[in-house]
Amino acid sequence: MYYPYLRGRQYELIALREMLEHDLLGTNIIPIIEPVKASSTLISTLESFVEKKKEVIVIQNPMAGSFSSEISRKAPYKEKYEKQSNDANIIPAFLVEPKSANLLGPFVEKETKDTLLISNDIDTLPFLKSLQNSPRITAFVIPDESTFRKNISANKISLGDHFKKRVKNSLYSEITDEFFTHDHLSFREDGYSGYSDFSIIGDDYTENGFAPYAVAIHMVYFDMEKNLRVHHFVSDTNGDIYDTAGKFAEALFKLVEFDELETCNTYAIRIFRELYEGQEYPGLGTVKKLAIMHHLELIKQYFDNVN
């Protein structure tokens, strides 16, 4: 099983919603959403999972963004969100930190639904271990590190950040192709029931966007050994922040000419080719949305073939 961890930005939510609409998630992918804003997009995306009877994991105590403070002030969203949270397809999860673990315990114990715990801090191990026999804790999402593996014997999911983020887009042109992950190949033999990562976005979270000097499109593909690699398609005219559409066209030309993507028959690849043929610029949010959709659909296709 693959559990893509997405922070609930608008383009991430729309990616999931469109994948549901086109039946592209399959049965082996369950997204994890950490809500960062109380928005209509979040509500409509969760409603899509409820209507399609597809499972999605929603973090109840998000650390990133402003969701927790916003939801209490937006009564219509709060009412809909609480109703959706009671649906069987909305699976609760909690982020565990050392300073909050003891306070979190009573909330977890009162949870009436199957629940996941997520932590990457070794100081939370005593708390996690204390709940290994809890009937409501169905999985622990933890780093692929020996100390965690040895101490958590129950159902566990590995969590990794495989995207090597650069401080600016132009730097991706220095190394345009690199290894991404082989977790889909090895998670079972490593003792995990599934694996999780932050897709091609990475763990780093920032609220504010800005006009980039360079446009970079990050697309994953399988190599001959079925490892997943990522290729960075970067614009060439990167001296200023103007003409983002032209820079996108430069990066998109490299994408459609890249041989390794020729055999990738995904919805997102088809849309990218249509954009190229029509000389259209959809906006950077849509570019990120399509890159996420491509990654998730590739993993769906992989599991469809091996299962």
pLDDT digits (tens, 9 = 90+) for 179-204: 999 999 999 999 999 999 999 999 88
Question: What's the half-sphere exposure (Cβ side, CA atoms, 13 Å) at 220?
Answer: 27
Question: What single letter denotes the amino acid at residue 263?
Answer: T
Q: How confident is the model at residue 208 (pLDDT cuts 50, 70, 90)?
A: low
Please give the mean pLDDT across all residues of the chain: 92
Residue 111 pLDDT exceeds 70: no
Number of residues assigned to the chain: 307
Q: Which residue has the tokens 């209509």?
A: 40
Kindly give, in sequence order, each residue whose CB lies less than 8 Å from that of residue 63, ignoring residues fewer than 6 positions away.
Answer: 34, 95, 97
66: Cβ–Cβ under 8 A, 6 or more apart, which residues? Answer: 36, 37
* SS3 state at 222: strand
Q: What is the mean pLDDT of residues 245-253?
A: 97
Average the pLDDT over 75-79 and give the result.
84
The amino acid present at 242, given as its one-letter code, is Y
> Among 26-30, 73-77, 129-133, whose mean pLDDT is lowest?
73-77
> How distant, in Å, are the alpha carbons of 63, 120, 122, 257, 297 from that of 103?
15, 18, 17, 54, 38
Tokens of 246: 């032209």
Tell me, what's the pLDDT at 74? 81
Express the helix, strand and coil content of the chain in percent, nearest 5 each. Answer: 40, 20, 40
Q: What is the dihedral of CA 259, 184, 224, 292, to 10 degrees?
A: 0
Using alpha carbons, list the distances in angstroms from residue 9 to 62, 66, 106, 258: 13, 11, 29, 29
pLDDT digits (tens, 9 = 90+) for 229-240: 999 999 999 999
* Residue 160 pLDDT: 95
pLDDT at site 104: 78
Of 2-6, 43-47, 67-71, least confident by mean pLDDT is: 67-71
Predicted confidence band at 224 (pLDDT cuts at 50, 70, 90)? very high
Is the separation of the CB atoms in 243 and 224 below 8 Å? Answer: no
Beta-carbon contacts of residue 187 (< 8 Å; ≥ 6 apart)? 158, 193, 194, 195
**Contact in structure between 19 and 52 (CB atoms under 8 Å):** no
**pLDDT score, position 96:** 93
Q: Phi and psi at residue 104, in whole multiples of 5°?
A: -75, -30
**Model pTM score:** 0.94
Q: What is the largest CA-CA distance in the chain?
A: 57
Q: How many CB atoms lie within 10 A of CB 243?
A: 14
Per the CB < 8 A criterion, the answer to whether 181 and 162 are in contact is yes
